[in-house]
Structure 1
Amino acid sequence: MTRIRPHASAPHQARASRTPRRLATAGVAATAATLLAAALSPTAGAADRPTRATAVENATDVLKDRASALGLTAGQETKVRDVIVDPDGTQHVRYDRTYHRLPVLGGDFVVHLAPDGSYRSASRATRAAISLPTTTPAVSAPRAADLAAHALRAVNLGETLRRLTAKPELIVDALHGTPRLAWRTNAVAQDEQGNPVARTVLTDAASGAQIDAWDSLESASGDGASLYSGTVPLETTLSGSSYQLKDPTRGNTYTGDAANKTDLCFLGICFSRAPSTVFTDADNHWGTGTTSDRASAAVDAQYGTNVTWDYYKNVHGRNGIAGDGKGSYNRVHYGSNYNNAFWDDSCFCMTYGDGDGTTFGPLVALDVAGHEMSHGVTSKTAALTYSGESGGLNEATSDILGTMVEWYANSASDAGDYLIGEKIVKPGFGKAALRFMDKPSKDGKSADYWSSTVGNLDVHYSSGVANHFAYLLAEGSGPKTINGVAYDSPTANGSTVTGIGRDKVGRIWYRALTVYMTSGTNYAAARTATLNAAKDLYGTGSTEYNAVAAAWSAVNVG
């Protein structure tokens, strides 16, 4: 389950390479890069390129031949998570693995194949050999559940938690050094207002020591008349004599009313969920643009879903959040004065609170929708672990791509910017936005630059390094005004960075996420992943490739 955490309430390696077959002059390299960039365009076509099924078959053959080199030993099995076939026929097959039927955290890897199906390279979350003396835990499941419940209470001090449950799962942890047997326990509860709180706790199954812990709710703080984007176009479904707020052109995505109720879930099983009663309308003109009409927030939510769908499809060639053409759904008016919004993989849905009216208004703004649904894309691709540096990159991915969604919308009422959540904050929040990409430390807690301690920060603050990188890469350093917003972005090394434009940044980050990043990618590996993506799109030594390197250096990575 993923959300945007507002700062006001927050307590809260991979390697990939392609060996060139021959040296090329700068002119030839530039030409090749131009051709590859055209090939990678979602509109480019190749009728005879391999299918996803063919890519899996090719990758299966590679695994048989290269099992030892990929660390696949006896007792391990693999399962395909995702497949990308580039328009030029290059194939990327992403796998999860198990060890004696236990899931391996950090065991994921991506096999990269040439158009003819031959092996090129692999991106691996870990290179450590997986060999355990036993798969029998010394720490019992009930004990692991107790430890996780204690950890959840510890980060919610002062709150009386209700309906607290914890569900342990025995796994192999290969993400935190030498692989070891561990319990991954999801502890969930409701706070005093009935809103959900949850934490995933990783416990050493031999000693009971906590290895890591992270929020399971990745948070952010969110024709029809919307609250934030003016009057927007909507595709709806005629049912009888009324219209449903359901879009048949985008996988039947729809928006429903949660009736200010919350979910009731135990041990990973939801016994009841807040409703999602589909909004209906008699004349196909929705909302009034005010909070007094419950349909107004629904308009924003549906519009955010539509624009996010269109951005991923038209810019990146991704058909829906999971890449399978299926739509998600939205629930608005969740809980009581709920100051949050979240994406939940278990229901494949977006949920929005109304805010308390003092700190936040309804959290249905466009960049919030783009942020949260991008968490869904991340979970279906790199699945960046929501802890440490990978957790910061997870949050930054949603900030970066959510911002690209806002720019893509080109809305006069909600113009593109590099502020996160600026539409939902109220005077009581005390700042103009949740986060600031040009200089993340303006929020008072986020990191502008990488340091060895960044991974110890809450993921909403360690994300600042990648957000700053993305801004510098798009717009460059120094003072400037864009769409009426003043920015002044510094650099760690005093360098002057020249931007390459946000469209290229979005393409580079998306390709890095979906092709090269893995669950354990840290900032150093993110630098490698984005350089590989820039190389694929624009060529080694290109202006774009060099700009990626310069922007990472400007935030002290590399």
Structure 2
Amino acid sequence: MTSLYARHKRTTLAIATAVAAGALVTTGLTTGSAAAPADSGARGALQGAPVQLSSAARTTLIQQQQSDAAATAKSIGLGAQEKLVVKDVVKDVDGTVHTRYERTYAGLPVLGGDLVVHKAPSGAQSVTKAVSATIKVSTLTPQVATAKVQKQALTAAKAAGSEATAADQAPRKVIWAGNGTPTLAYETVVGGLQDDGTPSRLHVITDATTGKKLYEHQAIETGTGKSLYSGTVTLNTTKSGSTYNLTDGTRGGHKTYNKARSTSSSTGTLFTDADDAWGTGTASSSSSDQTAAVDAAYGAQMTWDFYKSTFNRSGIRNDGKAAYSRVHYGNAYVNAFWDDDCFCMTYGDGDGNTHPLTSLDVAGHEMSHGLTSVTAGLEYSGDAGGLNEATSDIFGTGVEFFANNASDKGDYLIGEKININGDGTPLRYMDKPSKDGGSKDYWSSAVSGLDPHYSSGPANHFFYLLSEGSGSKTINGVTYNSPTSNGSTVTGIGRAKALQIWYKALTTYFTSTTTYKGARTGTLSAASALYGGTGSTEYKAVAAAWSAINVN
């Protein structure tokens, strides 16, 4: 779970991997789809773009790749104790198949051992690995008692505010390869609530020989109706008997539930209405208020349509099935978060329960954490953590531009509608990230030690430069002035192409431990596959944009 906002102190507000959907106030939901987008980033006939596979075709391809996993493991030089488990498969227009694998060693999961095998129709094959080291440990017998391991994890969780007295499950043996050196370890998961009310699912990795804590990460990522932020919108609903409910049968069955101030793990109650007219367009402190639900449903709708139209992706998992949304979480909870366990988005109502965190870019941000989880699986720490958070900002921005909503025009500002700072300023700025007071404009070795909400700055800046270029300009009424670290002038290639490049890199070239330099390599590979090799305008622009933020 990650938050949309960084927590400077225990009292600071945080938005968990927020993908807040624009608050919707509707005067009547209909069973039509939303207006067509102005900028879908259409791929045309790009040979390196993914093809849309039916659910049956995708399942069959995954099964085929799994049946060939042993031969694949041998062909790429894995050891006898290593096995591959298919996580995802992407097929390009030109027939190239990219298969993403998790890895096991002697039956134990290898955390940080994921890899992607790229196989062309000609049979040519290459591999992208999260870790280059050979997976091998000297012993599979732990020297540390599980009770000690669990105590260490509980201590770490307590520091984050959790009052849990036991782990969610017994520590499990794993091979930890996230730091590049394979180590026999234990993984312990502790639940409860963090100090701001956000659910906790803290994963703690402990060396099974020495008892030293190797790593920890938080798995909770904190992000017609009348909406609060997007005006009057068209939503798809379902009629059951004489009442309507917020189930979108045209987009994988997405449902919107009411948590009614609860912080439990329950789903909540499905929103229903007698006349199919939802919300008022005004925030209310009532726990049964429909306006926040309208925004959440609209945000999910626009995110689904953005991914389908722009990348031929059918849902977050690309399996035609929707996640679901929950609103009115907690009391005056100033956050929103994505949770892989429930595969759902959850939104708080903010200060006074009248400022729901359901804006359109926040909704797109949150659900995009789910996309990252089922594809590259970028760890929420170090460079990978910054790239994870930036991915959600990038695609959340893409959703906002795609929706082309007159009440919430597309921009390169994150969370500008929810006023989390209380002074009308946005949460983050993509053209010059340092304007938020904590993010970095350019990469340096110090970036990996920052909270992911700040280490995301260089990647957000890269995306802006690749899309729009450097210097001063005004877009949709917002003025930007993007600098470069090397004094260069960068010419953008447009947001549509920049989105295609980032998506392809995420889904076929990034791994769980990708660094900023690895992201440069991955996006250059993506640009080459989509638009041509080193001589193409797009390839050169990617290289120039990375150099402009000091990634060479």
How many Å apart are 1:285 and its aligned residue? 1.4
SS of the counterpart of 2:326? strand
Q: How does 1:101-500 map to 2 (within 5 A)?
A: 101-115=107-121, 118-156=123-161, 161-166=162-167, 167=169, 168-191=171-194, 195-219=198-222, 222-263=223-264, 273-292=265-284, 294-357=289-352, 361-426=355-420, 428=422, 430=423, 432-500=425-493
Mapped partners of 1:470, 1:462: distance in 2: 14
Partner of 1:9: 13
Partner of 1:57: 64
Mapped partners of 2:511, 2:196: distance in 1: 36
Aligned-partner residue type, residue 342 of structure 2: C
Aligned-partner residue type, residue 108 of structure 1: D
Q: Which runs of 5+ in 1 are unaligned?
A: 13-33, 264-272
Conserved? CA contact 1:245–1:255, under 8 Å? yes
Q: Deviations over 1:421-467 (max 9, x none)?
A: 11111563x46111111111111111111111111111111111100
How many Å apart are 1:58 and its aligned residue? 5.8
Mapped partners of 1:281, 1:51: distance in 2: 37
Conserved? CA contact 1:52–1:85, under 8 Å? no
Q: Which runs of 5+ in 2 are unaligned?
A: 17-41
Q: Deviations over 1:284-335 (max 9, x none)?
A: 1110011226100000000000000011111101111111001111110001
SS of the counterpart of 2:200? strand
Mapped partners of 1:326, 1:93: distance in 2: 21
**Alignment CA distance shift 1:150-1:306 (3 Å):** same
Conserved? CA contact 1:334–1:354, under 8 Å? yes
SS of the counterpart of 1:107? strand
**Alignment CA distance shift 1:10-1:423 (3 Å):** closer
Conserved? CA contact 2:130–2:512, under 8 Å? yes
Mapped partners of 1:371, 1:552: distance in 2: 23
What's the TM-score once normalised by structure 1's chain length? 0.87
How many Å apart are 1:53 and its aligned residue? 2.9
Mapped partners of 1:227, 1:465: distance in 2: 31
- Higher RCO, Cα 8 Å, sep 6+: 2
Partner of 2:532: 539
Mapped partners of 1:35, 1:115: distance in 2: 21
SS of the counterpart of 2:402? helix
Partner of 1:552: 546
Q: How high is the sequence identity, in percent, across the aligned residues?
A: 55
SS of the counterpart of 2:307? helix
Mapped partners of 1:278, 1:35: distance in 2: 37
How many aligned positions are there? Answer: 516
Conserved? CA contact 2:382–2:452, under 8 Å? yes
Conserved? CA contact 1:337–1:356, under 8 Å? yes
Conserved? CA contact 1:5–1:460, under 8 Å? yes
Aligned-partner residue type, residue 298 of structure 2: Y
**Alignment CA distance shift 1:519-1:41 (3 Å):** closer
Mapped partners of 2:513, 2:181: distance in 1: 14
How many Å apart are 1:416 and its aligned residue? 0.5
Aligned-partner residue type, residue 437 of structure 1: M
Mapped partners of 1:542, 1:54: distance in 2: 32
Aligned-partner residue type, residue 338 of structure 2: W
Mapped partners of 2:198, 2:390: distance in 1: 25
**Alignment CA distance shift 1:258-1:530 (3 Å):** same
**Alignment CA distance shift 1:62-1:143 (3 Å):** closer
What's the TM-score once normalised by structure 2's chain length? 0.88
Pair 1:81-2:87 in alignment: yes
**Alignment CA distance shift 1:61-1:280 (3 Å):** closer
How many Å apart are 1:276 and its aligned residue? 2.1
Aligned-partner residue type, residue 4 of structure 1: L
Mapped partners of 1:172, 1:213: distance in 2: 15
Mapped partners of 1:515, 1:175: distance in 2: 19
Mapped partners of 2:70, 2:282: distance in 1: 57
Q: Deviations over 1:231-286 (max 9, x none)?
A: 111011010011111000001101010011012xxxxxxxxx23421111112111
SS of the counterpart of 1:453? helix
**Alignment CA distance shift 1:143-1:232 (3 Å):** same
**Alignment CA distance shift 1:449-1:426 (3 Å):** closer
Aligned-partner residue type, residue 81 of structure 1: K
Partner of 2:46: 38
Alpha-carbon RMSD: 2.5
Partner of 2:27: none
Mapped partners of 1:67, 1:450: distance in 2: 35
Mapped partners of 1:353, 1:172: distance in 2: 37
How many Å apart are 1:37 and its aligned residue? 4.6
How many Å apart are 1:174 and its aligned residue? 1.2
How many Å apart are 1:11 and its aligned residue? 12
Conserved? CA contact 2:279–2:290, under 8 Å? yes
Q: Deviations over 1:42-71 (max 9, x none)?
A: 6x7899xx866347536754751x535634
Mapped partners of 2:61, 2:247: distance in 1: 35
Mapped partners of 1:11, 1:311: distance in 2: 23
Q: Which of 71, 78, 87 is the matching residue for 1:72?
A: 78
Mapped partners of 2:44, 2:124: distance in 1: 19
How many Å apart are 1:10 and its aligned residue? 5.5
Q: Deviations over 1:144-187 (max 9, x none)?
A: 1111111222344xxxx433432422210112122111122222
Mapped partners of 1:501, 1:224: distance in 2: 32
Conserved? CA contact 1:386–1:392, under 8 Å? yes
Q: Deviations over 1:5-25 (max 9, x none)?
A: 35543699xxxxxxxxxxxxx
How many Å apart are 1:534 and its aligned residue? 0.4
Conserved? CA contact 2:255–2:297, under 8 Å? yes
SS of the counterpart of 2:46? helix
Conserved? CA contact 1:46–1:87, under 8 Å? no
How many Å apart are 1:478 and its aligned residue? 1.0
Mapped partners of 1:425, 1:486: distance in 2: 19
SS of the counterpart of 2:192? strand
